[in-house]
Structure 1
Amino acid sequence: MLKSNPDNETTPSKIGNVLHPVADVQSAVEFYRDALGLAPRFVDGDRYAALDAGGTVLALAGPEEDLTRGTPAASFKVSDVKATLGALVEAGGRVLREPAQGPHEIRAVAQDPWGNTIIVYGPH
Protein backbone atom coordinates (compact mmCIF):
# COMPACT_ATOMS: atom_id res chain seq x y z
CA MET A 1 0.00 0.00 0.00
CA LEU A 2 1.48 3.30 -0.97
CA LYS A 3 1.10 5.99 1.62
CA SER A 4 1.25 9.74 1.22
CA ASN A 5 3.87 11.86 2.88
CA PRO A 6 3.77 15.63 3.53
CA ASP A 7 5.40 16.42 0.17
CA ASN A 8 2.47 14.71 -1.61
CA GLU A 9 4.69 11.84 -2.76
CA THR A 10 4.04 8.18 -2.11
CA THR A 11 6.32 5.74 -0.35
CA PRO A 12 6.04 1.95 -0.28
CA SER A 13 5.21 -0.06 2.82
CA LYS A 14 8.25 -1.22 4.76
CA ILE A 15 9.26 -4.77 5.65
CA GLY A 16 9.42 -4.63 9.41
CA ASN A 17 10.70 -8.17 9.85
CA VAL A 18 10.78 -11.69 8.50
CA LEU A 19 8.87 -13.96 10.85
CA HIS A 20 9.97 -17.50 11.64
CA PRO A 21 7.65 -19.52 13.88
CA VAL A 22 9.61 -21.61 16.39
CA ALA A 23 8.63 -24.08 19.11
CA ASP A 24 11.21 -22.73 21.60
CA VAL A 25 12.14 -19.05 21.41
CA GLN A 26 15.17 -19.25 23.72
CA SER A 27 16.68 -22.21 21.84
CA ALA A 28 16.05 -20.43 18.52
CA VAL A 29 17.73 -17.25 19.80
CA GLU A 30 20.77 -19.30 20.82
CA PHE A 31 20.81 -21.13 17.47
CA TYR A 32 20.69 -18.00 15.30
CA ARG A 33 23.14 -16.20 17.61
CA ASP A 34 25.67 -19.05 17.67
CA ALA A 35 25.27 -20.32 14.08
CA LEU A 36 24.85 -17.01 12.22
CA GLY A 37 26.05 -14.37 14.67
CA LEU A 38 22.69 -12.58 14.88
CA ALA A 39 22.46 -10.36 17.95
CA PRO A 40 19.23 -10.32 19.94
CA ARG A 41 17.61 -6.86 19.92
CA PHE A 42 14.56 -7.76 22.00
CA VAL A 43 13.45 -10.95 23.73
CA ASP A 44 10.00 -11.31 25.31
CA GLY A 45 10.30 -14.60 27.16
CA ASP A 46 8.88 -17.60 25.30
CA ARG A 47 6.61 -15.35 23.20
CA TYR A 48 8.82 -13.44 20.76
CA ALA A 49 12.36 -12.36 19.94
CA ALA A 50 13.78 -9.88 17.43
CA LEU A 51 17.30 -10.47 16.13
CA ASP A 52 19.45 -8.04 14.16
CA ALA A 53 20.09 -9.59 10.76
CA GLY A 54 22.12 -6.77 9.25
CA GLY A 55 19.41 -4.22 8.55
CA THR A 56 16.55 -6.69 8.59
CA VAL A 57 14.92 -8.09 11.71
CA LEU A 58 14.51 -11.83 12.07
CA ALA A 59 11.43 -12.25 14.26
CA LEU A 60 11.17 -15.51 16.15
CA ALA A 61 7.59 -16.20 17.17
CA GLY A 62 6.80 -18.76 19.82
CA PRO A 63 3.57 -20.76 19.71
CA GLU A 64 1.60 -17.96 21.42
CA GLU A 65 2.63 -15.44 18.73
CA ASP A 66 2.58 -17.75 15.69
CA LEU A 67 0.07 -15.91 13.49
CA THR A 68 0.81 -18.03 10.41
CA ARG A 69 0.48 -21.59 11.73
CA GLY A 70 4.12 -22.44 11.17
CA THR A 71 4.71 -20.64 7.88
CA PRO A 72 7.58 -18.13 7.59
CA ALA A 73 6.36 -14.76 6.33
CA ALA A 74 7.50 -11.24 5.52
CA SER A 75 5.85 -8.74 7.87
CA PHE A 76 5.01 -5.33 6.41
CA LYS A 77 4.64 -2.27 8.60
CA VAL A 78 1.82 -0.13 7.18
CA SER A 79 0.00 3.01 8.25
CA ASP A 80 -3.50 1.48 7.91
CA VAL A 81 -3.92 -2.29 8.25
CA LYS A 82 -7.56 -2.38 7.12
CA ALA A 83 -6.91 -0.28 4.00
CA THR A 84 -3.87 -2.36 3.12
CA LEU A 85 -5.90 -5.58 3.36
CA GLY A 86 -8.47 -4.01 1.03
CA ALA A 87 -5.73 -3.20 -1.47
CA LEU A 88 -4.30 -6.73 -1.20
CA VAL A 89 -7.70 -8.30 -1.90
CA GLU A 90 -8.37 -5.89 -4.78
CA ALA A 91 -5.01 -6.90 -6.30
CA GLY A 92 -5.86 -10.62 -6.14
CA GLY A 93 -4.76 -11.61 -2.63
CA ARG A 94 -6.92 -12.93 0.18
CA VAL A 95 -7.25 -12.38 3.90
CA LEU A 96 -6.36 -15.37 6.08
CA ARG A 97 -6.73 -13.68 9.45
CA GLU A 98 -8.70 -10.47 10.00
CA PRO A 99 -7.10 -7.51 11.82
CA ALA A 100 -6.74 -8.08 15.55
CA GLN A 101 -5.13 -6.20 18.38
CA GLY A 102 -1.73 -7.66 19.32
CA PRO A 103 0.41 -6.73 22.32
CA HIS A 104 1.91 -3.72 20.53
CA GLU A 105 0.03 -3.24 17.25
CA ILE A 106 -2.89 -4.21 15.04
CA ARG A 107 -1.99 -7.14 12.80
CA ALA A 108 -3.52 -9.34 10.14
CA VAL A 109 -2.45 -12.20 7.89
CA ALA A 110 -3.01 -12.34 4.13
CA GLN A 111 -1.85 -14.34 1.16
CA ASP A 112 -0.67 -13.10 -2.21
CA PRO A 113 -2.10 -14.60 -5.43
CA TRP A 114 0.72 -17.19 -5.48
CA GLY A 115 0.05 -18.51 -1.97
CA ASN A 116 2.79 -16.66 -0.08
CA THR A 117 1.83 -15.60 3.42
CA ILE A 118 2.09 -11.90 4.30
CA ILE A 119 1.66 -10.26 7.70
CA VAL A 120 0.58 -6.62 7.79
CA TYR A 121 0.79 -4.64 11.00
CA GLY A 122 0.49 -1.06 12.09
CA PRO A 123 -0.47 1.35 14.85
CA HIS A 124 -3.62 0.98 16.95
Structure 2
Amino acid sequence: MSEQQVRMVVLSTDNLDESIEFYAETLGFALKFRDGAHYAALDGGSITLALATAIDHPLPGKVAVGIKTEDVDGAAAAMEENGGAIVKAPYDDAHERRAVVYDNQGNGLVFYKPLGR
Protein backbone atom coordinates (compact mmCIF):
# COMPACT_ATOMS: atom_id res chain seq x y z
CA MET A 1 0.00 0.00 0.00
CA SER A 2 1.23 3.47 -0.87
CA GLU A 3 2.42 5.81 1.85
CA GLN A 4 0.19 8.48 0.25
CA GLN A 5 -3.61 8.26 0.51
CA VAL A 6 -6.20 10.37 -1.29
CA ARG A 7 -8.39 11.44 1.62
CA MET A 8 -10.03 14.69 0.56
CA VAL A 9 -11.38 16.70 -2.36
CA VAL A 10 -11.58 20.46 -1.83
CA LEU A 11 -14.21 22.38 -3.79
CA SER A 12 -14.53 26.15 -4.05
CA THR A 13 -17.63 27.96 -2.88
CA ASP A 14 -18.73 31.57 -2.61
CA ASN A 15 -21.46 30.69 -0.10
CA LEU A 16 -20.59 28.04 2.46
CA ASP A 17 -24.10 27.75 3.89
CA GLU A 18 -25.65 27.14 0.46
CA SER A 19 -22.98 24.57 -0.44
CA ILE A 20 -23.38 22.66 2.82
CA GLU A 21 -27.15 22.59 2.34
CA PHE A 22 -26.80 21.50 -1.30
CA TYR A 23 -24.55 18.51 -0.55
CA ALA A 24 -26.49 17.54 2.56
CA GLU A 25 -29.85 17.59 0.79
CA THR A 26 -28.74 16.35 -2.63
CA LEU A 27 -26.33 13.58 -1.60
CA GLY A 28 -27.04 13.13 2.09
CA PHE A 29 -23.49 14.06 3.14
CA ALA A 30 -23.34 14.80 6.88
CA LEU A 31 -21.38 17.75 8.22
CA LYS A 32 -18.22 16.51 9.99
CA PHE A 33 -17.11 19.95 11.13
CA ARG A 34 -17.20 23.57 10.17
CA ASP A 35 -14.63 26.33 10.59
CA GLY A 36 -16.57 29.61 10.65
CA ALA A 37 -17.98 30.89 7.39
CA HIS A 38 -15.03 29.77 5.28
CA TYR A 39 -14.50 25.99 5.53
CA ALA A 40 -16.53 22.85 6.10
CA ALA A 41 -15.82 19.14 5.89
CA LEU A 42 -18.56 16.74 4.84
CA ASP A 43 -18.58 12.99 5.27
CA GLY A 44 -18.15 11.53 1.80
CA GLY A 45 -17.43 8.02 3.06
CA SER A 46 -13.79 7.11 2.65
CA ILE A 47 -13.04 10.62 1.33
CA THR A 48 -13.88 13.96 2.92
CA LEU A 49 -15.61 16.48 0.70
CA ALA A 50 -14.25 19.85 1.81
CA LEU A 51 -15.94 23.12 0.90
CA ALA A 52 -13.87 26.29 1.14
CA THR A 53 -14.22 29.94 0.30
CA ALA A 54 -11.30 31.83 -1.21
CA ILE A 55 -10.10 32.67 2.31
CA ASP A 56 -9.36 29.02 3.19
CA HIS A 57 -9.09 27.31 -0.19
CA PRO A 58 -5.52 26.31 -1.13
CA LEU A 59 -6.20 27.06 -4.82
CA PRO A 60 -9.31 29.29 -4.99
CA GLY A 61 -11.56 28.54 -7.94
CA LYS A 62 -10.03 25.12 -8.58
CA VAL A 63 -10.62 21.61 -7.36
CA ALA A 64 -7.79 20.37 -5.15
CA VAL A 65 -7.11 16.78 -4.16
CA GLY A 66 -5.94 16.29 -0.58
CA ILE A 67 -3.34 13.57 -0.14
CA LYS A 68 -2.40 12.43 3.34
CA THR A 69 1.27 11.50 3.63
CA GLU A 70 3.90 10.92 6.28
CA ASP A 71 6.42 13.05 4.34
CA VAL A 72 4.90 16.32 3.14
CA ASP A 73 8.29 17.84 2.32
CA GLY A 74 9.44 14.80 0.34
CA ALA A 75 6.17 14.52 -1.59
CA ALA A 76 6.29 18.21 -2.56
CA ALA A 77 9.93 17.91 -3.64
CA ALA A 78 9.14 14.81 -5.72
CA MET A 79 6.37 16.67 -7.55
CA GLU A 80 8.73 19.52 -8.42
CA GLU A 81 11.53 17.14 -9.46
CA ASN A 82 9.17 15.38 -11.85
CA GLY A 83 7.70 18.34 -13.71
CA GLY A 84 5.18 19.70 -11.20
CA ALA A 85 5.41 22.98 -9.31
CA ILE A 86 5.27 24.03 -5.69
CA VAL A 87 2.60 26.68 -5.14
CA LYS A 88 3.10 26.97 -1.37
CA ALA A 89 6.16 25.31 0.15
CA PRO A 90 5.67 22.99 3.13
CA TYR A 91 4.48 24.81 6.24
CA ASP A 92 2.70 24.12 9.52
CA ASP A 93 -0.72 25.56 10.23
CA ALA A 94 -2.76 25.10 13.40
CA HIS A 95 -3.62 21.46 12.62
CA GLU A 96 -1.29 19.98 10.03
CA ARG A 97 1.86 20.19 7.97
CA ARG A 98 0.83 21.09 4.44
CA ALA A 99 2.18 21.84 0.96
CA VAL A 100 0.21 23.03 -2.07
CA VAL A 101 1.47 21.88 -5.48
CA TYR A 102 0.53 21.41 -9.11
CA ASP A 103 1.23 18.14 -10.88
CA ASN A 104 2.86 18.09 -14.32
CA GLN A 105 -0.53 18.82 -15.95
CA GLY A 106 -1.53 21.72 -13.70
CA ASN A 107 -3.86 19.81 -11.36
CA GLY A 108 -3.89 21.06 -7.77
CA LEU A 109 -2.82 18.81 -4.91
CA VAL A 110 -2.48 19.42 -1.20
CA PHE A 111 -0.14 17.12 0.70
CA TYR A 112 -0.85 17.08 4.42
CA LYS A 113 0.02 15.33 7.66
CA PRO A 114 -1.83 16.01 10.92
CA LEU A 115 0.38 17.49 13.60
CA GLY A 116 0.74 15.39 16.72
CA ARG A 117 0.11 18.19 19.20
Q: TM-score over 0.5 for the alignment?
A: yes
* 1:28 CA drift (Å): 0.9
In 2, the alpha carbon distance for the partners of 1:27 and 1:97 equals 29
8 Å contact kept, 1:73–1:117: yes
8 Å contact kept, 2:53–2:60: no
* 1:27 CA drift (Å): 1.6
Match of 1:54 among 42, 45, 50: 45
Q: Which structure has the larger Rg over C-alpha atoms?
A: 1
Given the alignment of the two structures, is residue 115 of structure 1 paired with residue 117 of structure 2, yes or no?
no
Q: Tell me the TM-score normalized by structure 1.
A: 0.83
In 1, the alpha carbon distance for the partners of 2:67 and 2:38 equals 20
Q: Tell me the TM-score normalized by structure 2.
A: 0.88
Task: Determine helix, strand or coil for the equivalent of 1:12.
Answer: coil
In 2, the alpha carbon distance for the partners of 1:39 and 1:16 equals 16
Change (3 A) 1:26 1:103: farther
Listed as ranges, the gaps of 5+ residues in structure 2 are none
Percent identity reads: 35
Task: Give the structure 2 partner of residue 86 of structure 1.
Answer: 77
Aligned length: 115
In 2, the alpha carbon distance for the partners of 1:121 and 1:54 equals 19
Runs of 4+ in structure 1 displaced over 4 angstroms? none
